[in-house]
């Protein structure tokens, strides 16, 4: 097995994280770099919004601006979080042939390698919960997700709480829809999250933690780890990725307040939220003749292809909003034609809120 490249950024900016994650995944997918494991210690708090999240649902824009907390959108699914000096952020890019499945890649990379490094800090009560969480009791130390990136690369990322989060900043900036906690015992971030510092009862050496991660990566995968920087090739593309992933168009690509700020007279807007394993929100704009004019799907889900929700939404335009069977059939046809997969969910979990939003726009009970 070829050596893994490990990049540790002890003073990374939020932009370094936002820009280099898609950059490294693209380079790995093109076979231009080896398997890469990146660890970021970001130097200030920032909000990372999930790729499919409606930013207006999750972020208090006024408080974010007042506190100087920048907002960025991730390239992957999942929810939103506030990250910063208290935590490590991770981004891993490796070949799809390394593990037999996405679930197995999480079990090994997080449930073995990272968990063993966590145990080395003295937090021996930590355990891995399928899929992607590191917990102590019912409280979360870290959360990770994985998706294919193109046909050859795996995009894995997440966070690990090393020190305690500044709750005052998090509570001021983040807005969590009540549906998110509906199936969870914890109803507040104070009960939901924990840290290595809190659990170990001592300061955690970040350098020692990084060394332990590299050591267990070598042992578990029977490979070698080489510590490097981003490299000349990565730096050559940095600015072009910066212009894309730090742009307002990308950050606000899913914003109900911007998309539906104005619409023609006689048009009506319906909203419905549906919580299964993940939350799916549907905004449906219906024109004066009762036809679907625009749909925006959002939520903390993980899907393949990554823009599958937008393809489903776009293919509903022109249908009769009062015809749920036509809507359901079009969603099923689109899902089949694009190979749509929603992890731990089904296309029906998207169909339900869309039909309900149509009913609300038409003034009927959903």
φ, ψ dihedrals at 282, nearest 5°: -125, 125
Question: Is the pLDDT assigned to residue 142 strictly greater than 70?
Answer: yes
Same domain membership, residue 265 and residue 247: no
CA distance linking residue 224 with residue 215, whole number of Å: 9
Same domain membership, residue 309 and residue 181: no
**Residue where one domain finishes, among candidates 251, 281, 296:** 251
> 107 with 130: CB under 8 angstroms?
yes
pLDDT confidence bin for 186, thresholds 50/70/90: very low
Cα-Cα-Cα-Cα dihedral of 215, 219, 224, 230, to 10°? -50
Range of the domain at 242: 4-251
pLDDT in tens, 57-111: 999 999 999 999 999 999 988 889 899 999 999 999 999 999 999 999 999 999 9
Q: Which of 12-26, 81-95, 149-163, 173-187 has the lowest mean pLDDT?
A: 173-187
The predicted pLDDT at position 130 comes to 86
What is the domain count for the chain? 2
pLDDT in tens, 250-300: 999 999 999 999 999 999 999 999 998 899 999 999 999 999 999 999 999
Residue 228 maps to a domain: yes
The predicted pLDDT at position 180 comes to 52
**Residue where one domain finishes, among candidates 195, 216, 251:** 251
Average pLDDT, the chain: 93
The predicted pLDDT at position 190 comes to 62
Nearest CA-CA partner of 284 in 250, 323, 249: 323
pLDDT confidence bin for 116, thresholds 50/70/90: very high
Same domain membership, residue 229 and residue 91: yes
Same domain membership, residue 228 and residue 351: no
The predicted pLDDT at position 138 comes to 94
The total of other beta-carbon atoms located within 10 Å of residue 192's CB is 15
Same domain membership, residue 198 and residue 321: no
CA distance linking residue 272 with residue 324, whole number of Å: 14
Q: What's the DSSP call for residue 180?
A: G
**Residue 54 φ/ψ region, left for φ over 0, alpha for ψ in the -120 to 50 degree band, beta for the rest:** beta
Residue 366 maps to a domain: no
Same domain membership, residue 293 and residue 242: no
Q: Where do the H-state alpha helices sit in 222-307? A: 231-245, 248-251, 256-259
Q: Where do the H-state alpha helices sit in the chain? A: 14-29, 55-58, 61-67, 102-108, 115-120, 167-173, 189-192, 196-200, 206-221, 231-245, 248-251, 256-259, 308-314, 324-338, 348-361
Q: Which tokens is 91 given?
A: 């981004």
Question: Is the pLDDT assigned to residue 225 strictly greater than 90?
Answer: yes
pLDDT in tens, 308-325: 999 999 999 999 999 999
């Amino acid at each position: 097995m070829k050596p893994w490249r490990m990049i540790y950024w002890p003073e990374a900016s939020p932009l370094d994280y936002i820009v280099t994650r898609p950059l490294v995944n693209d380079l790995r997918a093109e076979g231009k770099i080896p398997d890469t494991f990146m660890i970021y210690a970001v130097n200030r708090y920032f909000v990372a919004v999930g790729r499919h999240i409606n930013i207006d649902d999750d972020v208090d824009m006024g408080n974010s601006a007042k506190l100087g907390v920048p907002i960025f959108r991730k390239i992957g699914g999942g929810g939103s979080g506030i990250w910063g000096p208290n935590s490590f952020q991770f981004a891993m890019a490796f070949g799809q042939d390394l593990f037999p499945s996405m679930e197995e890649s999480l079990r090994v990379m997080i449930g073995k390698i990272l968990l063993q490094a966590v145990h080395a800090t003295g937090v021996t009560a930590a355990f891995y919960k399928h899929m992607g969480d590191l917990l102590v009791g019912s409280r979360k130390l870290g959360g990770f997700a994985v998706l294919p990136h193109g046909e050859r690369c795996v995009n894995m990322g997440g966070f690990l709480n090393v020190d305690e989060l500044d709750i005052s900043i998090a509570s001021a900036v983040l807005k969590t829809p009540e549906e998110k906690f509906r199936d969870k015992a914890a109803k507040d971030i104070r009960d939901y999250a924990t840290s290595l510092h809190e659990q170990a009862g001592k300061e955690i050496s970040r350098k020692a933690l990084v060394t332990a991660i590299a050591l267990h990566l070598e042992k578990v995968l029977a490979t070698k780890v080489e510590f490097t920087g981003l490299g000349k090739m990565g730096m050559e593309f940095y600015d072009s990725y910066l212009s894309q992933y730090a742009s307002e168009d990308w950050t606000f690509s899913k914003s109900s307040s911007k998309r539906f700020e104005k619409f023609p007279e006689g048009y009506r807007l319906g909203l419905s939220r549906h919580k299964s394993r993940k939350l799916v929100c549907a905004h449906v704009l219906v024109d004066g003749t009762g036809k679907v004019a625009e749909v925006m799907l959002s939520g903390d889900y993980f899907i393949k292809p990554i823009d599958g929700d937008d393809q489903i939404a776009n293919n509903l335009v022109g249908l009769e909003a009062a015809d749920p069977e036509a809507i359901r059939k079009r969603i099923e046809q689109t899902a089949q034609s694009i190979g749509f997969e929603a992890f731990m969910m089904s296309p029906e979990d998207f169909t339900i809120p869309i039909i309900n939003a149509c009913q609300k726009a038409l003034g009927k009970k959903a």
